[in-house]
Amino acid sequence: MELRSVFDVPVPLATSIESVVREKTNGMVRELRVTVIPGEVVLTGRAASYYAKQLATHAALSFCDELTLTNDLEVL
């Protein structure tokens, strides 16, 4: 039996993106959901401003080298 460190376990892409978006938007995006489908990442939820939506886009883009990013955040 091979023991593995917790740091060896890959984190799902959606979880990684969600974590960074939450961190970078500092609570300005509510009900955030990140969906990864073949070739695309989709952000949904509610942003407090267009600035928050833009921050979410830039945070998620760092993970989207080979993927298309669709930002469907609703601005309230």
Judge if pTM exceeds 0.75: yes
3-state secondary structure of 28: coil
Residue entry with tokens 């959606």: 14
Q: Which domains does the chain show, CATH number per domain?
A: 12-75 (3.30.1340)
User: Would strands 40-47 and 68-75 be described as parallel, antiparallel, or unpaired?
Assistant: parallel
pLDDT digits 0-9 by tens, 13-64: 899 999 999 999 998 999 999 999 888 999 999 999 999 999 999 999 999 8
pLDDT band for position 2 (cuts 50, 70, 90): low
